[in-house]
């Protein structure tokens, strides 16, 4: 269960296109140049066998360096590995948009990303997540297609926890690395017609998130629906739920909630 | 007699000083939502010679009015849109033109920039007119390709002065903007 949340945290990011602003994953688009974003996330992993449930807070700052580069830095604290809330991890993330083709109301974008994380938590599960649970590195490719009100994305990445290969209590090897993937779709539901920047936008999302451990061959697949509200074309409220569809991994939990607020600060007009 | 010539000269200079680009209509591509539109709006608002912008969010169109007596460099508008993460699908400039003779492949220095007129019949431009930019950074790729058939000059694909370009007085810039009516 904890790993569901960890992976949910891993994939949650911002973008500049509303229906690409996936709740559990990152699009290929970048933030506008010289813009800054702040995201405050709260995730709750529901109780599961051998786990009483836990909550994680993630505070992330995002910077659009130019039209192709963006950088994130985040720290988390949670009670998922301890009896009390404590600071547990810090990570940095960078994304480079290397392909962009624009047309009226549509675009195709591709980006590469990399991430480094440090976490003080002990390694307990098969799942590898760098958004609070484990230290490690990750790199991957994102492809996003915008088609008017619909945005679809696919992400593939390699993640390595840098932990020594060891066996669990059942003498089963715990993988050091894994292949992670996501398929995301977002739809701009409201408004039906734009008349003002102050209208509230409502986007619906549905994402498929999974991971295959490379050594032990265990895997999981989760489904993550979400709803998003955008206020004044600048502030986002995300509510998501992630639950397990299939699993052969030892995970913290099987399902849980996500709640987050995001603020985007654009370059001020004169 | 000398005073009459001075008066005529001042009147002529005054008349030509009123020739300027007053407004633009820009359509952006690659976006649908208001958040993206606002990012483009903010970026365009930061261009020094922009006075005011009226956005049409649904159509991704921005009606822009310019400050008076400031040099207009269209590349700054395009750069603002790309820095916001998107592209320009169409840019039209509306201005008051001094009496200017144009024709196929005319290169004319206007408003401190060199403009190469593509696919226009021979005529005299005067008064308020609207021109549409054709360079790669101002149109969709298919539109740029469509107008390529109307000129054989290599400056059309580079956007800079090439050996094909005639000399134009008044501007030493290597940038050549390709436009049509």
pTM of the model: 0.87
Of all residues in chain A, the one with the smallest CA distance to B49 is: A270
Residues contacting A68, CB < 8 A, separation 6+: A30, A96, A97, A98
Task: Spell out which residues of chain B touch residue A270, defining contact as CB-CB under 8 Å.
Answer: 45-46
Q: Do B32 and A32 touch (CB under 8 A)?
A: no
Q: Do A266 and B30 touch (CB under 8 A)?
A: no
Strand ranges, E, within A46-85: 54-64, 69-78
Q: Do A103 and B140 touch (CB under 8 A)?
A: yes
Task: Spell out which residues of chain B touch residue A106, defining contact as CB-CB under 8 Å.
Answer: 30, 32
Q: Which domain holds residue B97?
A: 19-180
In a domain, B58, yes or no: yes
In a domain, B105, yes or no: yes
Predicted pLDDT of residue B19:
76
Task: Spell out which residues of chain A touch residue B87, defining contact as CB-CB under 8 Å.
Answer: 100, 102
Q: Do A234 and B46 touch (CB under 8 A)?
A: no
In a domain, B159, yes or no: yes
In a domain, B115, yes or no: yes
pLDDT tens across the length of chain A (270 residues): 545 444 444 443 333 356 778 999 999 998 899 999 999 999 999 998 888 999 999 999 999 999 999 999 999 999 999 999 999 999 999 999 999 999 999 999 999 999 999 999 988 889 999 999 999 999 999 999 999 999 999 999 999 998 877 777 677 778 899 999 999 999 999 999 999 999 999 999 999 999 999 988 999 999 999 999 999 999 999 999 999 999 999 999 999 999 999 999 987 655
For A82, the 3-state DSSP assignment is coil
The fold adopted by the segment(s) A2-265 is Porin (2.40.160)
pLDDT tens across the length of chain B (181 residues): 766 665 555 444 444 446 789 999 999 999 988 999 999 999 999 999 999 999 999 999 999 999 998 889 999 999 999 999 999 999 999 999 988 899 989 998 888 889 999 999 999 988 999 999 999 999 999 999 999 999 999 999 999 988 888 876 655 668 999 999 9
In a domain, B13, yes or no: no
| Closest Cβ–Cβ partner in B27, B60, B83 for A67 | B83
Q: What angle do CA B116, B119, B123 make, to 5 degrees?
A: 80
Q: Do B33 and A67 touch (CB under 8 A)?
A: no
A126 close to A113: Cβ distance less than 8 angstroms? no
A48-83 burial: b if 16+ Cβ within 10 Å, else e: beebebbbbbbebebebeebbbbebebbbbbbbbee
Of all residues in chain A, the one with the smallest CA distance to B87 is: A102
Q: Do A100 and B31 touch (CB under 8 A)?
A: no
In a domain, B24, yes or no: yes
Q: Do A103 and B60 touch (CB under 8 A)?
A: no
| Cβ count near B128 (within 10 Å) | 10
Question: Per the structure block, which two tokens stand in for A232?
Answer: 């004044």
Predicted pLDDT of residue A269:
59
Name every residue in A having a CB less than 8 A away from some CB of B.
16-19, 21, 29-35, 66-67, 100, 102-107, 146, 148-149, 188, 193-197, 199, 201, 230, 233-234, 264, 266-270
A25 close to A182: Cβ distance less than 8 angstroms? yes
- Report the gap between the CA of A65 and the closest CA in chain B (Å): 10
Which of B29, B31, B32, B78 best probes binding to A when mutated, by most A CB atoms within 10 angstroms?
A: B32
Of all residues in chain B, the one with the smallest CA distance to A190 is: B33
In a domain, B131, yes or no: yes
Predicted pLDDT of residue B18:
63
Phi, psi (rounded to 5 degrees) for B71: -65, 140
In a domain, B5, yes or no: no
| Closest Cβ–Cβ partner in B33, B43, B57 for A17 | B33
Predicted pLDDT of residue B4:
67
Domain borders along chain A are 2-265
The CATH number covering residue B90 comes to: 3.30.70.100
**Rounded Cα distance, A19 and A258, in Å:** 18
Which of B34, B45, B88 best probes binding to A when mutated, by most A CB atoms within 10 angstroms?
A: B34
B55 close to B61: Cβ distance less than 8 angstroms? yes
Of all residues in chain A, the one with the smallest CA distance to B30 is: A102
Predicted pLDDT of residue A13:
39
Q: Do B45 and A196 touch (CB under 8 A)?
A: no
Predicted pLDDT of residue A221:
97
């Amino acid at each position: 269960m904890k790993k569901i949340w960890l992976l949910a945290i891993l994939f949650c990011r911002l973008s500049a296109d509303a229906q690409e602003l996936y709740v559990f994953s990152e699009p290929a688009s970048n933030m506008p140049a010289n813009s800054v974003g702040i995201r405050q996330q709260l995730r709750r992993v529901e109780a599961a066998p051998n786990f009483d449930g836990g909550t994680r807070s993630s505070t992330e700052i995002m910077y659009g360096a130019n039209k192709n580069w963006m950088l994130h830095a985040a720290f988390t604290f949670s009670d998922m590995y301890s009896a009390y809330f404590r600071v547990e991890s810090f990570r940095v993330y960078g994304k480079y948009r290397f392909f962009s083709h624009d047309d009226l109301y549509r675009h195709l974008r591709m980006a590469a990303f990399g991430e480094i994380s440090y976490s003080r938590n002990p390694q307990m599960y098969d799942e590898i997540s760098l958004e609070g649970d484990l230290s490690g590195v990750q790199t991957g490719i994102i492809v996003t297609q915008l088609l008017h009100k619909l945005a679809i994305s696919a992400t593939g990445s390699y993640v390595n926890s840098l932990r020594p290969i060891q066996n669990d209590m059942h003498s089963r090897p715990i993988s050091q690395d894994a292949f992670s993937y996501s398929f995301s779709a977002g739809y701009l539901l409201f408004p039906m017609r734009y008349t003002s920047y102050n209208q509230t936008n409502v986007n619906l999302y549905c994402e498929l998130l999974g991971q295959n451990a490379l050594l032990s061959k265990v895997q999981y697949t989760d489904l993550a629906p979400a709803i998003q509200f955008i206020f004044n074309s600048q502030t986002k409220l995300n509510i998501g739920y992630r639950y397990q569809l299939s699993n052969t991994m030892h995970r913290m939990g099987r399902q849980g909630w996500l709640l987050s607020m995001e603020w985007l600060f654009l370059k001020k007009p004169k | 007699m000398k005073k009459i010539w001075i008066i005529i000269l001042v009147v002529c200079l005054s008349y030509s000083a009123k020739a300027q680009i007053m407004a633009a209509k820009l359509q952006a591509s690659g976006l649908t939502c208001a958040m993206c539109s606002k990012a483009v709006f903010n970026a365009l608002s930061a261009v020094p010679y922009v006075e005011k912008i009226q956005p049409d969010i649904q159509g991704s169109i921005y009606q822009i009015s310019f400050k008076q007596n400031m040099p207009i460099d269209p590349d700054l508008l395009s750069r603002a849109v790309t820095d916001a993460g998107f592209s320009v699908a169409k840019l039209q400039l509306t201005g008051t033109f001094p009496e200017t003779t144009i024709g196929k492949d005319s290169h004319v220095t206007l408003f401190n920039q060199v403009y190469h007129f593509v696919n226009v019949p021979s005529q005299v431009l005067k008064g308020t007119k609207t021109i549409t930019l054709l360079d790669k950074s101002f149109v969709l790729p298919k539109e740029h390709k469509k107008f390529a058939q109307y000129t054989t000059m290599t400056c059309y694909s580079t956007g800079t002065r090439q050996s094909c370009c005639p000399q134009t007085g008044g501007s030493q810039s290597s940038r050549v903007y390709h436009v049509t009516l």
